Structure 1
Amino acid sequence: MKAAISALCLLFSVTYAGTQMTHGLTGKKDTSYSNQSAFKSAVKKYPYIKLVREQTLPEVKEKRDIIYCSREDRNLYLDAFYPEAKGNKPVPAILIIHGGGWRSGSRAQHIPLAQRLAARGYVCFTAEYRLSTEALYPAAVKDLKAAVCWIRSHAPEYNADALKIAALGFSAGGELGAFIGTTNNKRQFESLCSLGESDAVQAVIDIDGTLSFVHPESGEGDDTRSTSAATYWFGYSKKDKPDLWKEASPLTHAGKDTPPFLFINSSVDRMHAGRDDFRSILDQHGIYSEVHTFPDSPHSFCLFEPWFDPTVDYISAFLEKVFK
C-alpha cells in the first residue's frame, strides 16, 4: 500500500513539474509598479530624491500610440520622440524598454528619458510588450524584436540610421534588452511582425537588469513566500525547468556576435547578476563594454534625480563612442 501511495505521489510530482503554470495569466494589467510607487518606496530611505517627469521640449517632436505590431488578439504600441532633422545625415535610434518584473510597468515610465535623449540627437521609441499577465516567455522577447524590425523599417520617416539601433532597458527591461542583443537574428525568437527586417541591435544599455536567472548572484526564483516575478513569466519554477531559466539568460547567449554593452547599475548587487562573467566573455572577443555604478542608490535610481542626469550623460557618451 505504501509503495502504491509513493508511486502515485511520484507520478503527481512529475506531472506537476511538467505542467506549465498558467494561473498568472489573468488577462488584466498589473499596475503595481509605476514611477509613483517606485518613488513612494525609495523616498523613505532617500528623502532628497526628485521624481523626473515629462516635459515639453521645443527641439523634440513626438508621435504617440503608434501600432508596431497587429496581432489577432490585439495591437502593440510604441511612442516616438525625435529631434528635428538637420541635414541629410540620419542619427542613431534607441528602443527603450520599461521594467516591472516582466509583469507590471508601462512604456510611459521612460518618456522623460526618451525626451531627454531625443534632445541630445537620438531617435527614441518607448515600446510596450506583452507582460506575464497576458503571455509567457518568450512572447515579450518576440514583441520587442518586432519593435526593432518596425524601427528599422520606418527609419527614414524619423531620420533614423537603420544600421545604428540600440536597445536600452531598465530592470526587467534591461534583461530583455540584453537578451535581444545577445540573440540578434536568432530564428527561434523571430516575431510574426518582423516585416522581413533584421531584428539585430548594434548596442545595448542595460540599466540594472540581470544577466542570468541561474547565476549564483541571482535573486530570481525564490518562491518560498510567494511566486517570484520570473516564475510567473516562465510559468515554471527554477527547480522544475532549470534549462528554460538558463535559456532565457542573456549570459547563456553572449559570444563573438554580441554588440557593445553599457551597464549602469545601482548599489543593489543582485540586480546585475552575472554581469562580470558576461563582460569576461565580451573581453575574450574584443567587444567593448563599460560599467558605471551609483553608490548608495536604489534599484529604481534612473527614475529620479540626482541620478537621472548623469545616467543620460553616460548613455549619450557611450553611444557617441560606439556609433562614431
Structure 2
Amino acid sequence: MRYSDFDDEVSMRLFFAAVMLVLHGAAQAADCVDPPADPTNTYDAQHTYDKLARDYPFIRIAGAELPEGVRKVADQTYVQYGSRCLKLDMYLPAGLRMPVVVLVHGGGWRSGFRSEFAPMAVRLARRGYAAVTVSYRLSGEAPYPAAIQDVQAAVRWVREHADRYQLDPARIALAGGSAGGQIASLAGVTGDVQAIINIDGLSDFTSELALKYEDDPKKNPSAAGAWFGGRYAEKSALWREASPINYVKAGMPPILFIGSAQPRFSAGRDEMMAKMSQAGVKTDKLILPDTPHSFWLFDPWLQPTVDATINFLVSVPTFGHEL
C-alpha cells in the first residue's frame, strides 16, 4: 500500500467494516448485557481532579446539571455486537433542525467514560446545539480501528434518527478530547461530518514528539501500542494509518484545534494545519495558557472551550450560523 493511498483504501475498509457491523447487528436478537466494571478504568473528572488540585488549586469539576429547556435522552443503543450494546446520551434543547455535536471521550484509547463530556454537552445544548456523548470499544475489548468504526456508527445513528429528534442531518460535527480528539479527527476525515473539533488529541502518531511518549520502550505496552497491538516498529503501517495528518485534502471537514500548554499532545498539529491551509481547508487553533491536559473537565477552562467550539462552527459555511 502506498503512503498516498491511505485515504481511499482506509475509507473503503472502514466503510465495508461498517456495513458488516450493521448486518451483524441486525441479525442479533439478544438482550444487551453491560460489560463488567473495570476497576483500572479511572479516567474521570474526580480522579483527574485529585491529581491536578495541588498544582491548580483554583479548578473545580465542571457541573452537568440540566438547565431549564434542555432534556436528556439517555442510554440509546446505537450499535450492537451480539449482546454487547454501545450507547449514547443526547442533550437536546428545544428547537427544530438543530445542528449536532457528537462528543468522544478520552482516556488513552483504553479507558474513560462518555459522561466525561456531559458538562460540555449541557453547555452546548444551552446554546442551541444538540450534543451527543458516545461510548465506544476501548483497546482492551477491541483494537484499532474498532473505536473509529464505532464513532462513525454513532454519527450514522444520529443521522438516521434526525427526524425523530429534530436534528439537522446536514450539520453534524465531531469533537473529542485527548484520545477522543484523535478518534474524532480520524473518524471525521474518513467519514461524513461537516466539522471537527480536536481538543488536545494527537494528529501524527509517527512524529518524533509522539513517538517519544507513545512508543516509549519503558511502557509495556504504551497506550498507543496497546491500541495498535504492537510498537511502531512492529505495526508501523497502523501507526501511520491512524494519523489524521495523512488524510488532508481539499474538501475535507474544517478542523479547530484546542490545545493545552502540554506540548506532547500537539504532536503533528501545526504540520497538519499547514497542510490544510495549502489545500484550502479552513482550520484554526486556540491554545489555553497554563493549562494541564484534560482541562476541558474543569472550570474555568470549560467555558472558553465551549465558546471557541461554537465560534468556529458558526464560521464554517457548510455547518454554522448564529442560533
- Alignment partners' CA distance in 2, 1:183 and 1:60: 31
1:64 maps to 2:71: no
Deviations 1:173-201 (A, max 9, x none): 000011012112xxxxxxxxxxxxxxx01
- Counterparts in 2 of 1:75-90, with a 5 A limit? 75-85=85-95, 88=96, 90=97
| Residue of structure 1 in register with 2:8 after alignment | none
1:155 maps to 2:162: yes
- Paired residue for 1:205, among 193, 197, 201? 197
| Residue of structure 1 in register with 2:100 after alignment | 93
- Alignment partners' CA distance in 2, 1:71 and 1:60: 31
Gaps of 5+ in 1: 1-25, 185-199
Q: Is the 8 A contact 1:27 1:133 kept in 2?
A: no
- Alignment partners' CA distance in 1, 2:130 and 2:216: 38
Secondary structure, aligned partner of 1:104: coil
Q: What is the TM-score when the length of structure 1 is the normalising length?
A: 0.84
CA-CA distance at 1:32 after TM superposition: 2.1
- Alignment partners' CA distance in 2, 1:279 and 1:155: 32
| Residue of structure 2 in register with 1:112 after alignment | 119
| Residue of structure 2 in register with 1:271 after alignment | 265
Same amino acid, percent of matched pairs: 41
Higher gyration radius (CA): 1
Q: Is the 8 A contact 1:28 1:133 kept in 2?
A: no
Secondary structure, aligned partner of 1:46: coil
Deviations 1:9-41 (A, max 9, x none): xxxxxxxxxxxxxxxxx9863422111111111
Q: Is the 8 A contact 1:92 1:161 kept in 2?
A: yes
| Residue of structure 1 in register with 2:151 after alignment | 144
Secondary structure, aligned partner of 1:217: helix
Corresponding letter in the other structure for 1:299: H
1:50 maps to 2:60: yes
1:214 maps to 2:224: no
- Paired residue for 2:50, among 40, 43, 46? 40
CA-CA distance at 1:257 after TM superposition: 3.1
- Alignment partners' CA distance in 2, 1:277 and 1:217: 12
Q: Is the 8 A contact 2:229 2:235 kept in 1?
A: no
CA-CA distance at 1:73 after TM superposition: 4.1
- Alignment partners' CA distance in 1, 2:126 and 2:209: 37
| Residue of structure 2 in register with 1:20 after alignment | none
CA-CA distance at 1:226 after TM superposition: 3.5
CA-CA distance at 1:236 after TM superposition: 0.9
Gaps of 5+ in 2: 1-34
- Counterparts in 2 of 1:118-267, with a 5 A limit? 118-184=125-191, 200-218=192-210, 219-267=213-261
Deviations 1:187-240 (A, max 9, x none): xxxxxxxxxxxxx01100000000011112213121324321001111111111
Secondary structure, aligned partner of 2:209: coil
Q: Alignment length, in residue pairs?
A: 281
Distance change >3 Å, CA 242–CA 27, structure 1 → 2 = farther
- Alignment partners' CA distance in 1, 2:67 and 2:133: 17
| Residue of structure 2 in register with 1:195 after alignment | none
- Alignment partners' CA distance in 1, 2:199 and 2:121: 14
CA-CA distance at 1:284 after TM superposition: 1.1
Secondary structure, aligned partner of 2:201: coil
Q: What is the TM-score when the length of structure 2 is the normalising length?
A: 0.84
- Alignment partners' CA distance in 1, 2:72 and 2:37: 28
Q: Is the 8 A contact 2:248 2:279 kept in 1?
A: no
Measured on the aligned residues, the alpha-carbon RMSD in Å equals: 1.4
Secondary structure, aligned partner of 1:58: coil
- Give the ranges of 4+ consecutive aligned residues of structure 1 lying more than 2 Å apart after TM superposition: 26-30
Secondary structure, aligned partner of 1:75: strand
Corresponding letter in the other structure for 1:62: K
